[in-house]
Amino acid sequence: MSDCSLCKVPILPILWSDLNFRIVLVTDQNIKGYLRLEALEHVSEIYQLSESIRQQMFSLLNIIEINLVNIFHPDKINIASLGNMTPHVHWHIISRYKHDNYFPESIWSTPIRNNLFENTQEEISNLKHQLTNMIKQRDAEQAFDS
Amino acid sequence: MSDCSLCKVPILPILWSDLNFRIVLVTDQNIKGYLRLEALEHVSEIYQLSESIRQQMFSLLNIIEINLVNIFHPDKINIASLGNMTPHVHWHIISRYKHDNYFPESIWSTPIRNNLFENTQEEISNLKHQLTNMIKQRDAEQAFDS
């Protein structure tokens, strides 16, 4: 577990976190609007999370997807939990564009273009603000429901 | 929509279906224990599904994962919703093995081995039986809760 890179504090910018998850901005791939949702608990598969944490995870995935669509206007969203090299539950949520370096293949395929795409400071700031607000609103609604 | 291959009846074997989803066995990849969960509604992104259908989808993903682990004993499970070529919500749920043709890369990467892996009839039959039973049990529990 001490060898697990996801058990350490990430080098990538954290946009939001709580006791169970953190959302980090992946900045090293020349892909615009690429986030990772990382479980803080060290388990390798989703079924090993508790029911309530898994529910929270799926709700966060949905919130992340909506915010990527709102801010980055991608042609498609890709969502994946692989973890073959780092077996610690985490999701890649990726804005895909018809002109990105891999489209229509996955970002794990061989790139077919070689362009640079960077998030602007305004996009990052909006993303952080809107993610935080939407998660806060969801938490308030859930507290009201229970 | 008429051009969408997922809007047609699949050629692949259907292991389970209801009014919202079907689970099909992917048999054309030389990968053991590879299922696809396909929404029957033609929408491209997950957030476009209704809340109740999305909840059902995540619950089915979890059931599929548990059953692949129980029957195929993989080293890792990979789950992905890409749809760049077929923008109609569907998930790949894939049993991964350290000796499979792509490990530790994704199955969308260039293969690094060239072996044949086939599901046995017993595995397919068990999978169909256990998936159906677990989904039926979940539906009964939900009916009891509501």
For the segment B10-27, what is each residue's pLDDT rounded down to a tens digit?
A: 999 999 999 999 999 999
List chain A residues with CB under 8 Å of B76.
Answer: 44-45, 82-84, 87
Q: What is the ipTM of this complex?
A: 0.95
pLDDT for res A28: 73
Q: B27: which residues sit within 8 A by CB, 6+ positions away?
A: B12, B13, B119
Does the pLDDT value for residue A1 go beyond 90? no
List chain B residues with CB under 8 Å of A86.
Answer: none
- Contact between residue A25 and residue A119 where contact means Cβ atoms under 8 Å apart: yes
Looking at residues B102-111, what average pLDDT do you find? 94
Orientation of helix A51-72 relative to helix B51-72, angle to 10°: 120
The residue written with tokens 């789950």 in the block is B79
Distance CA A55, CA A62 (A): 11
| Beta-ladder partners of B95 | B77
Apex B127 CA angle, B123 and A52, nearest 5: 135
For chain A, say whether B40 makes contact (Cβ under 8 Å): no
| pTM for the predicted model, two decimal places | 0.95
Distance CA B25, CA A113 (A): 33
Q: Which of B84, B109, B134 to mutate to test the interface with A (most CBs of A within 10 A)?
A: B84
Q: Which of A64, A108, A145 to mutate to test the interface with B (most CBs of B within 10 A)?
A: A108
Q: Compute the nearest-CA separation of A81 from chain B (Å).
A: 5
What is the tens place of the pLDDT at every residue in B110-134? 999 999 999 999 999 999 999 999 9
Please spell the DSSP secondary structure of B66-78, one letter per residue: HHHHHHH--SEEE
Q: Compute the nearest-CA separation of A48 from chain B (Å).
A: 9
List chain B residues with CB under 8 Å of A83.
Answer: 76, 78
- Contact between residue A110 and residue B111 where contact means Cβ atoms under 8 Å apart: no
DSSP conformational letter for B2: T
